Chain A
Amino acid sequence: MDESVLFSVRLSLQVAIAATVWVVLVGTGMSFILARKSFRGKEILDILLTLPLVLPPTVTGYYLILFMGRNGLLGNALFRWTGWSIMFTWYAAVLASFIVALPLMIKTTRAAIESVDQNLIKVSYTLGHGELKTFFKVILPLSKKGIIAGAVLSFARAMGEFGATLMVAGNIPGKTNTMPIAIYTSASSGDWSKANMMVIFFTLVSAAFLYIANRLSKKGF
């Protein structure tokens, strides 16, 4: 396989894995809070976290530039403190994938947590276990299916991220050109054999993931 194709495949997997780890950690925590707590501004938080699901990825990317760019709210502070900017690094690709995949994780996981029988949670409390222990011993095992399905979907979504990634990480060959971006470049420059290879690879991997997600949501594992 072409050296540059191999790089893109590896980068895409690396970005997707890193993004998925964060998505699972943050998404599960957020889902628990949204499913079981009531507080002011809960609905606004829910909307903010879901927005990337419906916004065009370029809009999400634009917001990321506003926040994380060298002159952005957070990015500027980070740059002045460390002299480093996340823009146009593979970390930016991870961030973009994370933001875009997070709502998928939260939707599935929240539904799974909400469907855990309330009485089981009450029983756990009366048996002397506090909220944290109840979360790890009862809620988490019983919503495992939803969490894993959410993680698989998030991984697939993160691998396929294009728009927001292009805006914050750019298209730097050998540095930030993930598979979707490399496919776009190859197709627009007429390099069909390269594009074909990556498209077939991508389709197979995505189909495999959907198959896994389906099986998990049907019969567990």
Chain B
Amino acid sequence: MADGLTIAVLSGKGGTGKTLVSVNLAAVAGDATYLDCDVEEPNGHLFLKPTPISEETITIGKPVVDQSLCDGCKICSDACAFKALAVIKGSLLIFSEICHSCGLCYHLCPQGALTEVQQSIGVLKTGERGALAVHSAVMNIGEPSGVPLIKELGKRRGGAITIIDSPPGSGCLVHETIAHADFCLLVAEPTRFGEQNLALVHELVTLMGKPAALVLNKTIGGLNPSEAYARANNLPIIASIPWDEKLGRLTSDGELAVEKDEHYRFLFTTLLERIKEEVRHA
């Protein structure tokens, strides 16, 4: 477990630059860890190109019923908060995809008819890039929730700084990601859609009591709804990344901007220092 600083990079909307900011911050952070929590489509490894070290299958427990022991009492199905169990004509039906693996049903069953079996939900890949540890999780296709993978990734925090590349949105996956963070770095583009999603994720971060700041990405001058939102809602703006075709080309080539361009190395090094400053004053 980490004694260092954990920074979650979030955006609400997809495609605003979470991965761009995450991988470049990680690359200038020295003794650090990068966690790709975007388990539905992890892509940070495309930029960091870690040397693979290990792979681990991640499993979660799901209930299985022994119908010969089940007497259809409905204690489990009435108690299930996710409605993953139903008792029809005295037989228990289990809806595994809806089950959140809380384990309550095994504990409550008076007949001992329910047992837990482990099911694979994805693979956690570990690699390294110099002093940077890189962990990515890949969820199995069709798996309904990546939350257990993010819980596992959270355990891999380490070094002086951990950078978490969050999933987009403000749902369960993002909630789980923020739970591991000391500081939330929001990234927003200058669009109305970007602003709306920034507001949603900012509300979530505030609700969870995490200090936060904003990076404006793809700025083009003129009206920026995301900037206006930040100013109206006391969200500090700690960096602005102007729209730049060169940066776009580097990114689409899978390059790290901080390694190809001195200007971007300075920008992300400064950003990391600003984050540390924000954390000290939080």
A, B bound: no
Q: Which of A's residues lie within 8 Å of B, judged by CB?
A: none
Q: Which of B's residues lie within 8 Å of A, judged by CB?
A: none
